[in-house]
Amino acid sequence: QQNVQQSPESLIVPEGARTSLNCTFSDSASQYFWWYRQHSGKAPKALMSIFSNGEKEEGRFTIHLNKASLHFSLHIRDSQPSDSALYLCAVSSGFASALTFGSGTKVIVLP
C-alpha cells in the first residue's frame, strides 16, 4: 500500500520569501504526482501536477520530481499571505487511479 509522507508539518514564512515543501512516496511504480491546496474551511483544490522526472513551473509555483529518490517538492516564489493554507501532496500509481494523499503541510505567510 502506498505511503505518502510530507515535511515539514508546518511552516511560517515572511511575505516575499521562498517556501519549500517536501513529499516522499513508497511505491516506485507511481506515475502521477499532485499538489493540492486547501484554505481553511474550504475544499481542497488542485494546484499543479507533474508526470515525468524534472521540473515544472507555473507562475510562482515550481514542482521538482525525482522518481529514483521517491521524492517530489513544491516551491513557492515570493510567498503571499493568500498562500497561507494546508498543502497536500498526492500520488497515484496509474491513470485515473485513486489518489493517496499525504498528511499535509500547514503554511502561514506573515505580512
Partner 1 sequence: EAAVTQSPRSKVAVTGGKVTLSCHQTNNHDYMYWYRQDTGHGLRLIHYSYVADSTEKGDIPDGYKASRPSQENFSLILELASLSQTAVYFCASSDRTGLSGNTLYFGEGSRLIVV
The one-letter code for the residue type at 58 is E
Nearer to partner 1, 4 or 65 (CB): 4
CB 9, min distance to partner 1, A: 9
CB 23, min distance to partner 1, A: 11
How far apart (Å, rounded) are the C-alpha atoms in residues 22 and 79?
16
CB 69, min distance to partner 1, A: 21
Nearer to partner 1, 23 or 109 (CB): 23
H or E stretch at 14: strand 10-14
Q: Which residue shows C-alpha cell 522518481?
A: 67
The one-letter code for the residue type at 1 is Q
Chain residues binding partner 1 by CB under 8 A are 1, 4, 6, 32, 34, 36, 42-46, 49, 51, 86, 88, 92, 95-104, 106
Nearer to partner 1, 73 or 104 (CB): 104
How far apart (Å, rounded) are the C-alpha atoms in residues 14 and 19?
9
* Pairing between β-strand 100-101 and β-strand 105-110 as defined by DSSP bridges: unpaired
CB 87, min distance to partner 1, A: 10
